[in-house]
Amino acid sequence: MLVDEIPIGEEFKKILRSENITKLYPPQESLVRSGILETNGNVVLSTPTASGKTIAAEIAMIKTLERGKRAVYIVPLRSLAYEKFLEFQKYESLGYKVRIEIGDLDSKRYKKFLDFDILVATAEKCDSILRSRPNWFEDVGILVMDEIHLLGTDRGPVYEIIISKFRKLFGGIQILALSATIGNAVEIAEWLNAELIRSEWRPVPLRENVEIGKDKYKKIREIVEKSLSRGGQVLIFVNSRRSAEAVAEKLGNDLKFSENEF
């Protein structure tokens, strides 16, 4: 599906084009074709990392804003909240107010009402606001729950409370749940009375293999050199911060990275 075919305003399409997005990824197209933009139905979107879940959520949020409603985007971490807040600030050029709530200091800036069109918040902060200032969420049309798989962890109760309270206090609110890894996606979709969109599509094919050798560093270096020679990138996981620094420094020296590259 081309960006021109998305049933949203031209101003938003211009923002997508400015980011060199002219065509939707398959999971994004599936979300648009699910009818979420025309109805008030809930959706669980389970697709791999980097498959475009955030843009898919933005499309749904913008459609909600065009109806005169507001959007709330929930994340588990402060760092992720700030990242999304910076991403969504581009919509202020369209006249929308983008706000962030991640700690006690944020709330002290406001008294009876938080003026926002898009609010990014951590789950714990959102739960706190729901308890003390539920009126802040009046006229919210869509609740986006990022990393919905956390329902199955020790942070699950907070996610469950947020969803349950929004459904109870603001009947008819639309819920879009996002995750790259949901073991019980069908169960969550049934609980939310939502359509489940599940896809294994990813922009870059994923190859899984095991490399065995006596010299682990030598094997790592070979993999890194091979990937870089093809213009690729490499992400290496080790078991400690000290090991990460040691491997990074050794690779930097051996492969002659400049300080800017290292």
Question: Looking at residue 155, what is its pLDDT?
Answer: 86
Question: Looking at residue 110, what is its pLDDT?
Answer: 53
Question: Looking at residue 180, what is its pLDDT?
Answer: 86
> Over the chain, what is the mean pLDDT?
89
Question: Looking at residue 109, what is its pLDDT?
Answer: 55
Question: Looking at residue 146, what is its pLDDT?
Answer: 96
Task: Please answer whether residues 114 and 94 qualify as being in contact, where contact means their C-beta atoms are separated by less than 8 angstroms.
Answer: no
Q: Three-state DSSP class for 189?
A: helix
39 or 65: which leads in pLDDT: 65
Rounded to an integer, what distance in angstroms lies between the CA atom of residue 146 and that of residue 177?
A: 6
pLDDT at position 258 over 60: no
Closest CA to 197 of 60, 86, 4: 60
Domain boundaries, the chain: 3-198, 216-254
- Top-tier CATH class for 3-198: alpha beta
Residue count of the chain: 262
Using pLDDT thresholds of 50, 70 and 90, give the confidence band for residue 199: confident
Q: What is the DSSP string of 191-245?
A: HHTEEEEE----SS---------S-HHHHHHHHHHHHHHTT-------SSHHHHH
Question: Looking at residue 235, what is its pLDDT?
Answer: 87
Distance of CA 116 to the CA centre of its chain: 19
Q: Three-state DSSP class for 5?
A: helix
